[in-house]
Amino acid sequence: MDSLPEDQYEVVVENVKKSYDGKKLALDGISFHIKKGEIYGLLGKNGAGKSTTIKILTTLINFDSGTCNIAGYDLRKDSSKIRKIIGVVQQEESFDFTTVENNFKLAGMLWEVPKNIREERMEKLIDLFGLQEIRKKRMYDLSGGQKKRVQVAREFMHEMKVLFLDEPTVGLDPIMRRKILQYIREQAKNGLTILFTTQNLEEADMICDRIGIIDGGKIVEEGTSEELKLKFGTLRTVKITTQTNVEKYMNEIKERIKTVNYEDISFDENKILILGKNVDRKVGDVIGSLYEMGIEVENVSIENPTLDDVFMRVVER
């Protein structure tokens, strides 16, 4: 965990416990901190406690013990102040039973956005989220993905300091997904703090500054995507293609790159396959050694572990 002083964090969650029925704990002492302008990804299996965490932080449900602080406000004391500075896209669908446009207008009105800004913002969001053709349609005539788009876009009608997104990209096509993620990324660059949950690890890898893996109602691993991969990534393979047949230099090469700490190495005509933890970070040494021996390298490829590998290892250990 970072060592910033408490007040540098926009969201502070400390040892929060929550049980719905008084027996089973949905949250079992969850703790995490989010810096201002950071996108924090909460990853976890079904039932891990992601939505429960978001419902608590957005003042929708109570928690049993622990402390939560959002933008300097204590969740227990200042819930109504917190509600004025957050945005929430819930996992469940939510919309006003009227047209797409009215959903935007009403959101702007409810949040007291001045009328001229309201119109301008609505036009921008309708464009950005590809809603131009359906803007006059009623919400219940839309497809699932279209509804979701309106739901996410609508939340950007108002200003906020912290945004909670509970699986906002479920059901979106890849193009729209990318667009929305890009837009979210931009907002964070402008200082918006975001808590983001997803089942899509590729997506988390793409946009989250830090990731917390939640399991059984608590954070079991935390770090940047790179840190997590380093810690839990499976063995990596470095594939080097050279201009000469390397099989006859096998022993000499092995000797020269001993420091790489590989777990396995194999030679196949002009190809070398090196397998091991973190071997990708030693590629430079390997190429250097080959060069010293007068072997020209034609191509190097590294097979990276994905966040999926990390996730599998963490939640299934």
Ligand X SMILES: Nc1ncnc2c1ncn2[C@@H]1O[C@H](COP(=O)(O)OP(=O)(O)OP(=O)(O)O)[C@@H](O)[C@H]1O
102 binds, among other proteins, Mg ion, ligand X, none (CB under 5 to 8 A by kind): other proteins
Of the pair 111, 267, the CB lying nearest other proteins is at 111
Minimum CB–partner distance for residue 148 and other proteins (Å): 12
Q: Is 28 one of the binding residues for other proteins (CB under 8 A)? A: no
Q: Which stretch binds Mg ion (CB under 5 A): 44-52, 77-85, 126-134, 292-300?
A: 44-52
93 binds, among other proteins, Mg ion, ligand X, none (CB under 5 to 8 A by kind): other proteins
Place of tokens 């996992």: 91
C-alpha gyration radius of the chain: 25
Of the pair 29, 130, the CB lying nearest ligand X is at 29
58 binds, among other proteins, ligand X, Mg ion, none (CB under 5 to 8 A by kind): other proteins
Burial tier of 269 (Cβ tally within 10 Å: 0-12, 13-18, 19+): exposed
Tell me which residues in 82-141 interact with Mg ion (CB under 5 A): 91
Minimum CB–partner distance for residue 204 and other proteins (Å): 23
Give me the residues that bind ligand X (CB under 6 A), please. 20-21, 26, 44, 46-52, 91
Q: Which of 195, 150, 192 is nearest to 56 (CA)?
A: 195
Q: Mind giving me the DSSP string for 221-255?
A: EEE-HHHHHHHH---EEEEEEESS--GGGHHHHHH
Q: Which of 67, 316, 30 is nearest to 197 (CA)?
A: 30
* Binds other proteins (CB under 8 A): choice among 3, 46, 80, 251: 80
Q: Is 21 one of the binding residues for other proteins (CB under 8 A)? A: no
Minimum CB–partner distance for residue 261 and ligand X (Å): 38
Q: Are 214 and 49 in contact (CB under 8 A)?
A: yes
Of the pair 42, 260, the CB lying nearest ligand X is at 42
CA–centroid distance for 85 within its chain = 22
Q: Mind giving me the DSSP string for 175-201?
A: HHHHHHHHHHHHHHHTT-EEEEEES-H
Q: Is 251 helix (H, G, I), strand (E, B) or coil?
A: helix
